[in-house]
Amino acid sequence: MNAKRLPIDSPSVPTIEDYANRLTDNPAIQRNESLMRLLDSQTDRHKPLVSIITVVYNGEQTIRETIDSVLRQDYEPIEYIIIDGGSQDNTIQIIREYADRVALWLSEPDHGISDAFNRGIALSRGKYIGLINADDWYESDTVRRVVDTFRADNQIDLVCGRLQYWRGNRKDVRFPSAPEDLGVDMTINHPTTFVSRRAYELAGLFRLDYKYAMDYELCLRLKKHACPFISLDAVLANMRWAGTSDRNWLRGLLEMRRAQRDNFPGKRAFFWQFQLRFVRGVLGRALAVLGLHGILRFYRARISRFRREFQ
């Protein structure tokens, strides 16, 4: 196959067209043509097609819950796409069990999560696009709430909402989204986010040279292009707590600062906000290491600018 390939660490912004050209005639793409025709018949101006994309690699332990949360949505039509990075466990077998309800899936090695997101977006056809990873899951009314919000104001390009975290089988902290504070931190919960196709066409896809803060960089780029955001006061998605090393936390924070410089160069306010974000992050980790979780929870619930709700 003669496909166009982007430099893996290119600072350029990929486009839907770039990826569509790369994926043309890719024999690994599994399309459910009959389901796609059904989705086309269900789509009209009152019920726009929504594309949901799940990216996964070796996700056999959690992908069923993710898939089921998409398939039980009380809205249709939904075009469900799964992009697998060449899993070596039973992920592919699980995807095949749902093949009659998945519009399209692809399994082959990719170049990281940004590349996987971009493949899914380029292969999608929906007016609105949501990204949900294989260890997260939606509420049953998420897509309907999002579509109602987009339809109420056709100028909106990004809808987000609250994210419920879980520890095991117990609800923990609930994070609101606050797009107005993007200059301070990544204040948009990515699993809750839906973006219009026109916004991706305007601002481009995820940059491949970002490894940790690719979602923050994209949100800043959408903001730079004056794409309107709106946050809903409702839980749209769920996520389990997972351990993240301090090294990755710092790398992610440094990429966030880089994203600020790339999209809003010369804005000094971002620099000072970054310093405060760094100090807060270090103090929070120190309290956690010392076992002072009660103090940390009190700060986050009562004092922090970005207040969390604890269950």
**pLDDT tens digit string along 156-215?**
999 999 999 998 899 999 999 999 999 888 999 999 999 999 999 999 999 999 999 999
pLDDT band with cut points at 50, 70 and 90 for residue 302: very low
How far apart (Å, rounded) are the C-alpha atoms in residues 10 and 207?
8
Residue 296 clears pLDDT 70, i.e. is over it:
no
Residue 146 clears pLDDT 70, i.e. is over it:
yes
Q: Mean of the pLDDT values across residues 84-103?
A: 98
Entry pTM:
0.86
**pLDDT tens digit string along 39-76?**
999 999 999 999 999 999 999 999 999 999 999 999 99
Per-residue pLDDT at 3: 38
| Alpha helix positions (H), 14-165 | 16-23, 33-42, 63-71, 91-97, 113-123, 142-152
Residue 248 clears pLDDT 90, i.e. is over it:
no
Per-residue pLDDT at 5: 42
DSSP result, 274-290 = HHHHHHHHHHHHHHHHT
Domain parsing of the chain, residue ranges: 16-310
Amino acid letter at 5?
A: R
Per-residue pLDDT at 150: 99
* Four-residue CA torsion sign, 271, 277, 283, 289: negative
Per-residue pLDDT at 280: 62
pLDDT band with cut points at 50, 70 and 90 for residue 278: low
How far apart (Å, rounded) are the C-alpha atoms in residues 81 and 257?
32
Per-residue pLDDT at 7: 44
More confident residue, 152 or 280: 152
How far apart (Å, rounded) are the C-alpha atoms in residues 177 and 229?
11
pLDDT band with cut points at 50, 70 and 90 for residue 6: very low
How far apart (Å, rounded) are the C-alpha atoms in residues 305 and 284?
14
Per-residue pLDDT at 152: 98
| pLDDT cut 90: percent of the chain above it | 74
More confident residue, 308 or 153: 153
Residue 29: beta bridge partners? 106
Amino acid letter at 127?
A: K
How far apart (Å, rounded) are the C-alpha atoms in residues 131 and 138?
10
Per-residue pLDDT at 12: 86
pLDDT band with cut points at 50, 70 and 90 for residue 252: confident
Per-residue pLDDT at 291: 56
pLDDT band with cut points at 50, 70 and 90 for residue 245: very low
Contact 13, 221 (CB under 8 A): yes
| Phi, psi values for residue 239, rounded to 5° | -145, 145
Q: What is the rounded average pLDDT for all residues in the chain?
A: 87
Question: Right CATH number for 16-310 from 3.90.550.10, 3.60.110.10, 1.10.287.3510, 3.40.50.300?
Answer: 3.90.550.10
